[in-house]
Every structure is written in C-alpha cells, then in structure tokens.
Structure 1
C-alpha cells in the first residue's frame, strides 16, 4: 500500500530528525581525552633532558637541576602534592618563599629559585602538562645591589707571594692565582682552559672558549702573567691531554681542588680573616681595580664577559673616580 504524500513527508521529517539526534549523541558521548599528567620528579627529568638537547651549557643545566631539586624538597616539607604538577598553586609558591625566608635563605637564593621554577612551568605549559604557570604574578624579592668584598692591593700581593716557587705545585698555584687576578676569569672558565688557548704572539692572550654565556672572548696578557705562564707551561710539559692546569699526578685540576688551594693560601696569609679567598673574590677585585684605573665600561665588559652592564655599573657607583674629580667644581670661590 502506497503511503499518502502527507504521511510520506512526515516520515521523512521524523527520519531526518532521528539522524540529527544520532549525530548529537555521538558528539556528546564521544570519549573525552584524558588530561596529560606527570609527577614533579618526572617532569623535572624531562625538562633537564630538553635543556641538554637544546645545547644549554653544563653550568645552566646544573643550575636548573639544583634549583628544582631544592624546590621539590621544600614542597615535600610543605606537603604540596607532587604526584601531578597541575596541583601546584600560586599559594604554594608564596608559602615556598616564606619557607625559605624562615630558613634564613638569602634573597638572591630565593629569587634564583623563583626564576628557575617559572622557566620550568613555562616549559610544562608548552608540553601540555599544565594550563597556567603558578609562578606568574609572584614578584621577586627586592635585592640590595651590593658589591661583594674585594682584596686590597696589599692582600693581593700577600696571596701572590705565598706559593713556594721551588716546587711544581707552588709554580702552578701562582700561575692560576695570577690568571684569576690579571684576567677576572670565572672558575668554570679557568678549569676548561687548554694549553692551545694560550697565545704568546705579540702581547699574548688567553682565548676563553667555554664561557658562561657561550660567547668566546680574548683576554690580553699582562707582562707578568705572560712570563709566568711561559715558565709554567714549560714545566707542565707534554701530556696525553691538553688541560692547562694539572695535579701532581698530571690529571686535569678540578674546581674543588682549586678552591681548596685558594683557601689554603687565604689561611696561611691571614687574608681569609677579612675576605674569603675565592675565585669570585679575584674577579670582583679585577673589576674594582679596572674601574679605579678608569677603564671604559664597555671594554671591561668585553674582558670579563658580563652579559649586561648592570653588575659593572655597581663597581662604578662605588669605585669610580669621576665623583672625586668633580666634587670641587663650582666651589672654588666659596
């Protein structure tokens, strides 16, 4: 029996409506994709691996590793859930700051930790593990912009006169202290120096290849440093590796050994009583002496490898001679 036109039209409308409802049901009951979850520890490992792939310097990777480890330890003490990075809140970051303040952490330490954490969570956002950065909106603590302790010229002379030059160790220690004092080089840069990085042509120079900011730089040699380096390299001799500074066993000298030797000379000269003898104290002293001598700030930046002028400006504020040179101006007849 053939249906009438009205019935047939109604049947088609009902069928069309059913088809639409089926599509809506499929859309509404489609399985929802689960949110990506990862623990704080696993996320940290993933982040550090990506840092290595991106070619960040070992110094930078070590910095992130240390800061994230300390943050995770503090979070555990504060009962912050670490099973999912999504659960960390801005309130937790604020409590983290208070926790470090109560523990007596320096402002620079806290700010450094905040910087590392913010970078870490920006990475997690890009990976889709979190929707927002809990560090956003948390201001860094205000720091006092000070210049750390430096050696006086007499203290510097005491340190450089202390090594026994009748021994290889004494000659080596004088050489490395002289490199610190006359170039302002960083500890990590000094330990990475190789024999071929030293040139004696013309004025002579040290070519620092492995730097903190990954920009190689050239530091000319002073006359005294050139003389001592020549003598030391001759005594060092030819070895199966190229590290410039070595132990008595002919192995590359590591950072801890160098710090230990500097402490030794600080103790026997008594300099440690007023200024802790460290690679950075030599670096600060180098900057101070150059500023006092009127060295152009941009030239000093090229010598030291500072990323910006901000730190060097602090030396100018304290040690620059321009203030003394102009303080009498305008008062000659008063």
Structure 2
C-alpha cells in the first residue's frame, strides 16, 4: 500500500473552514526588546560563541538607540517598516559611522529579522529590503619582516611575563590564530609530540588542528616548563597569579611591546595585525588560498581573495612569459 500524502495547507484551510475551525487565532504582541531577548537566548542555546552573542547584542543595542532617536515605536515589533530601517541607515551616516560599521549593524538587524519571522513575531523581514552600503574593500596594515623582528626581540625572556609574551607573539606570527582562540587554549590542547594545536573554541564553532613550526614547538616546550603545573587553571597562557590571561590583557601587552620597540609609531600593533601579516607572508611564499583558509579557520574564502589580489606574486612571474 502506498503511503498517503500529507494534506497541503490550502486543502487544510478548506477543511478547517468547513469544520468551523477557521477562527483567527490572536497573536500576542511582542516588543522589540522582548524579541531581542528571545533572539539572544536562542543564540546561547544554539551554541553560538559568547563573542558572537555579545556582538549581536551590541549591534542590536545600537539599532535600538537609533530607533529611539528617530521616535520609532518599539512596543510592537510588527509595526517596524522598511522606511524605519532606511532611516536608521541615514541616521548612522549622518552620525559619521564608517560604512562597514553601518553594514554590520544592518546585517545584524536582518539576521534578527529572519529569526523573528521564523518565530512568528512578524510576517515579513522588512530589514531585508534595505541594501547594504557599497564599501571600497581594502586590507588593513601589516608588519614587515623587519618590524616583526624588532617586536619579537623586545620581550625580556629572563622573566616569566617576557617569555610568555614572546611565545604568544610567536604563536600569532607562525599560526595566524585569532586572539580569542589563543586565549582559550588549554594545556591539553598542545600536542608537542605531534607538533600541533587542537583548537576547541573557534569563531565558527568547528574545532580545528593547527600544525606548529619547529621554532614554535621549541618555544612552547620552554614556556610550558617554566609555566609548570597549577591547580587553579588549565589555561596555557596565564598571569603571574595563575589565572587565565584575558584577551584585553593580551592586546595591551602587544601594544606595550610595540611601543617599547618603536614599531607602534609605524604601524598599529594588535593581534589582528599579526593575523593579516600571517596571511600576507603565506601568500607571498606561494601557499594556495584553500590551504591558507584551513590554516586560518576562515569559513568564507572571499576574505582571503583580497590578500591574493594584492600580495600574490603569480602576476610578476607571468608577465614575462610569452614575450619573444
């Protein structure tokens, strides 16, 4: 016997009408703030990283602030219109925000709107009808090899903090790791015998393996001996009080060494500049974009295409070919 088909929505509506069951169900009113709270809670339950949830919270807070300035009613999210989101974009432009910042906030609003549609809070995601602003794509500052050498020569490795900071900067240099990923590494994530790191907390929530260079393996071996064992934390990188080193502290320490080395007068000194420099040097060395994507943990390869367009030497090698 063949399996009976399910009843399609149109036929189901006719049956409900015939049975007198077509009375409209009143949908409860949901405010903008209530919808945002539901959206953020959903992100936590779904397993989004704390950084991602915090980012959505920050951008939606800015969206709400702008709506309040524009006297947009927020007591019923169904009353939001495309014109309200267009007015939001204009508000942000007039306030002097960068186009990339405005686009980030608008995209957060669109993702939030999609969630509200799925939950039945609204029928249509009106934010999706507003186009993002055109942005001229460019790559931020990177280190030169000479600047990197000066930076890596600055920490005093006769002290624990100096050895730790040098190890951190070498890890940024040799792996292109994100600062949030580095701060989350635990001792058991370092496999010296396999010359690898097993990252458990990543931006896209997929664990990945990063191979270690020989010099980074040697540096980590020395650092871990000095770090020793503590019952207070499993964190790889710790303070002198045996607590996990925070992201903000790592950022501060890199700026400090950049200032002491005089590099900060030439280029911004931050973990992300290390990451951009890693991508540049790998492309210049001939590493293909797909391998680089795996090393850096990018879910979208388009970000790396900008680096290839600027730093690839393929065109230099090809320009003389075919010339008589």
1:323 matches 2:315: yes
Q: How far off its partner does 1:265 sit? A: 1.1
Alignment of 1:186-225 (within 5 A): 186-202=178-194, 204-225=195-216
Deviation at 1:94, TM superposition (A): 0.6
Partners in 1 of 2:296 and 2:250 — Cα distance? Answer: 20
Q: In the TM superposition, what is the alpha-carbon distance from 1:59 to its structure 2 partner?
A: 2.2
Report the equivalent of 1:279.
271
Report the 3-state secondary structure (helix = DSSP H, G, I; strand = E; otherwise coil) of the residue aligned with 1:207: strand
Shift of 1:207: 1.4
Matched position secondary structure for 2:182: helix
1:36 aligns with one of 15, 21, 28: 28
Matches within 5 A, 1:299-310: 299-310=291-302
C-alpha contact (below 8 Å) 1:36/1:128 kept by paired residues: no
Give CA deviations for 1:107-163 in whole Å, capped at 9, x if unaligned: 211111111111111211222221211112211111222111100000011110010
Unaligned runs of 5+ in 2: 1-19
1:86 equivalent to 2:78? Answer: yes
Aligned with residue 164 of structure 2, among 172, 180, 204? 172
C-alpha contact 1:163 1:173 (8 A) present in aligned 2: yes
Name the Cα RMSD after superposition: 1.6
Q: Return closer, same or farther for 1:175/1:34 CA change in 2, 3 Å cut-off.
A: same
The TM-score, its normalising length taken from structure 2, stands at: 0.90
SS for the counterpart of 2:197 is strand
Q: Which residue of 2 aligns with 1:262?
A: 254
Deviation at 1:79, TM superposition (A): 1.0
Is the deviation greater in 153-162 or in 307-316? 307-316
Instruction: State which drifts further: 235-244 or 47-56.
Output: 47-56
The Cα of 1:74 is off from its aligned counterpart by 1.1
Structure 1 residue ranges, 4+ long, deviating more than 6 angstroms after superposition = none
Counterpart Cα distance in 1 of 2:211 and 2:161: 25
CA–CA distance in structure 1, aligned partners of residues 36 and 280 of structure 2: 39
Alignment match, 1:107: 99
2:226 corresponds to 1:235: yes
Does the residue aligned with 2:126 lie in a helix, a strand or coil?
coil
> In 2, distance between residues paired with 1:201 and 1:313?
34
- Which residue does 1:18 correspond to in 2? none
How far did residue 220 of structure 1 move?
1.3
Q: Does 1:295 align with 2:281?
A: no
Q: How many residues align?
A: 304
SS of residue paired to 2:250: helix
Answer with 321-330 or 287-296: which moved more: 321-330
Task: Show structure 1 runs of 5+ residues with no match.
Answer: 1-26
Aligned partners of 1:191 and 1:254 also within 8 Å: yes
For 1:139-190, what per-residue CA distance to the aligned partner results, in whole angstroms no more than 9, with x for missing partners? 1111222111100000011110010011101000001011111100001100
